[in-house]
Amino acid sequence: MDSLLIKGGIPLHGEVTISGAKNAVLPIMAATLLTGDPCVIRRVPDLSDVRFMGQILTSLGATVAFDGDSVRIQAAKIKPHGDYELIRKMRGSICILGPLIGRQHRAKVSMPGGCVIGARPIDLHLKGLRALGVKFTMSEGYVCARAPRLMGTELFLGGRSGPTVLGTANVMMAATLADGVTVIESAACEPEVTDLAKFLVAMGAKIEGAGSPTITITGVKELHGAEHEVVPDRIEAATFAIAAAATKGEVKLLGARPEHLHAVLDKLREAGVKIERNGNSLTVKRTGQVKPVDITTLPYAGFPTDVQAQMMSLMLLAPGISIITERVFESRFMHVPELGRLGADVAIEGPSAIVKGGKPLSGAPVMASDLRASAALVIAGMVAKGSTQVNRIYHLDRGYEKIDAKLAALGARIQRVKGE
């Protein structure tokens, strides 16, 4: 397996272009199953998860053609079930369930996998689709769905940790071809859900309220092909902003959407980081000492759980105590022991991590446990004294487009070491 070798102590300077959002492009690719017409998606990041989704759609019978940062997909004739081994490897693959049910009224999908960051059941997906008239059975690792007719209804998708993003996407996609009106209450408000809704509307769907807790979908008889440009990745933007602050550098984030980053930018400013908005870009700069801040992760528009690990790396530099509380996933502190190898002083108390910052970090070999933990280890490695080797970086390749090349272009001393 590949690893990253990082030599710390170099401030990041320059410009970086933010790629399209992984969490938006996967359900948008899945939505092309709702029509037999060709669809074109632009600003598609070159990620292993995106390639996986392309393979999954191909296994269902679609034709998928990548061309630079665009992909053309046509699902003229599709099967109701895909490749078990492909689907089970990626959490995002569950978003094929809604469009398969919407178009074919049946589906057979393996239970999905992904990062090990705690239980992420699909019970809310099934609850929402059952409300539309879908009947489910579980057999040999598969979710088998059948619905002779989809009927619009009112349903509630709130869960223990808040709304479900992919659950909202699945129900919304299926409901576009249901009879009547569907109202989703406690819908996820993430920009990625709004982006999917925009694509569906371009395909001919009737959707109102995307981006709010109440989404209304009026079913139509059929959808047609469309073209769409994916929204920039707010998590990638946040990661580079934190990296700039951690290394005491100055980086311009080209294409970042400040309106999607309010909670992150607020905490960065509270930590003493300067942020300037210049048209379609953000400039992040730190000159003074990092200040400790307390953070609680929440569903959008709260502080994103996908930025918690990276922010912890920044708080390691702040003299004093920071408390980071995780309210979305119960096992999302797996990066803490690895940060400890670099000299971090972090104690876990229930859902909170108590960070005693201001202590020097020194390089060491570390192991990535999940996507965002990998990014946190890279950030910590860039400020640690000496060399840090981040192993198992296939997690990074799932969600960050060419992150090592982008960091190197900003001055980081980072290189990919090819594994066997």
Please state, in angstroms and rounded to a whole number, the distance separating the CA atoms of residues 418 and 349. 38
Q: What is the mean pLDDT of residues 190-217?
A: 98
- 225 and 77 share one domain: yes
| Counted domains in the chain | 2
Q: Which has more pLDDT, 33 or 329? A: 33
Output the domain CATH number for residue 255: 3.65.10.10
Contact 204, 223 (CB under 8 A): yes
Tell me the pLDDT tens digit for each residue of 357-408.
999 999 999 999 899 999 999 999 999 999 999 999 999 999 999 999 999 9
Q: What is the mean pLDDT of residues 222-235?
A: 98
Phi, psi (rounded to 5 degrees) for 257 = -105, 100
- 322 and 247 share one domain: yes
> Mean pLDDT of all residues in the chain?
94
- 204 and 243 share one domain: no
- 183 and 287 share one domain: no
Residue 101 has pLDDT above 90, yes or no: yes
| pLDDT of amino acid 98 | 97
Residue 115 has pLDDT above 60, yes or no: no
Residue 118 has pLDDT above 60, yes or no: no
- 28 and 100 share one domain: yes
User: Of the ranges 109-123, 144-158, 217-231, which one carries the lowest mean pLDDT score?
Assistant: 109-123
Residue 327 has pLDDT above 70, yes or no: yes
DSSP per-residue string spanning 325-339: E--S-TT--TTHHHH
- 143 and 32 share one domain: yes
Please state, in angstroms and rounded to a whole number, the distance separating the CA atoms of residues 371 and 375. 7
**pLDDT-based confidence at residue 171 (cuts at 50, 70, 90):** very high
- 138 and 267 share one domain: no
| pLDDT of amino acid 10 | 98
Please state, in angstroms and rounded to a whole number, the distance separating the CA atoms of residues 154 and 156. 7
Amino acid code (one letter) for 387 = S
Place of tokens 């700069």: 285
Give SS3 for 418: coil
Angle of the 308-315 helix axis to the 371-383 helix axis, nearest 10: 20
- 32 and 181 share one domain: yes
- Cβ neighbors of 122 (< 8 A, separation 6 or more) are 94, 111, 112, 143, 167
- 348 and 201 share one domain: no
- 217 and 332 share one domain: no
Give SS3 for 74: strand
Residue 392 zone, left/alpha/beta (φ > 0; ψ -120 to 50; rest): left
| pLDDT of amino acid 408 | 98
- Written as six digits, the tokens of 324 are 């980071």
- Predicted TM-score (pTM) of this structure: 0.95
| pLDDT of amino acid 60 | 95
Residue 121 has pLDDT above 90, yes or no: no
Catalytic status, residue 144: no
Q: 209: buried, middle or exposed (CB in 10 Å: 19+, 13-18, 0-12)?
A: middle
| pLDDT of amino acid 333 | 94
Tell me the pLDDT tens digit for each residue of 264-312.
999 999 999 999 998 889 999 999 999 999 999 999 999 999 999 999 9
Dihedral, 38, 45, 262, 305 alpha carbons, nearest 10: 110
Q: Domain end: 229, 260, 282, which one?
A: 229
User: Of the ranges 25-34, 76-85, 107-116, 379-388, which one carries the lowest mean pLDDT score?
Assistant: 107-116
| pLDDT of amino acid 114 | 43
| pLDDT of amino acid 390 | 97
| pLDDT of amino acid 113 | 52
Residue 117 has pLDDT above 70, yes or no: no
- 225 and 91 share one domain: yes
Strand-pair category, 227-229 with 38-42: parallel
Q: What is the mean pLDDT of residues 227-252?
A: 98
Angle of the 22-31 helix axis to the 191-202 helix axis, nearest 10: 30
Q: Domain end: 229, 260, 294, which one?
A: 229
Q: What is the mean pLDDT of residues 103-113?
A: 85
| pLDDT of amino acid 81 | 82
Residue 329 has pLDDT above 90, yes or no: no
Amino acid code (one letter) for 273 = V
Residue 327 zone, left/alpha/beta (φ > 0; ψ -120 to 50; rest): alpha
- Cβ neighbors of 83 (< 8 A, separation 6 or more) are 55, 56, 59
Q: Domain end: 184, 214, 229, which one?
A: 229
Residue 183 has pLDDT above 70, yes or no: yes
Q: Which of 39, 95, 115, 189 is catalytic?
A: 115
Give the sign of the dihedral formed by CA 332, CA 93, CA 17, CA 296.
negative
| pLDDT of amino acid 303 | 98
| pLDDT of amino acid 111 | 75
Note the maximum CA span of the chain.
Answer: 63
Q: Tell me which residue range forms the domain holding 192.
A: 22-229
- 63 and 50 share one domain: yes
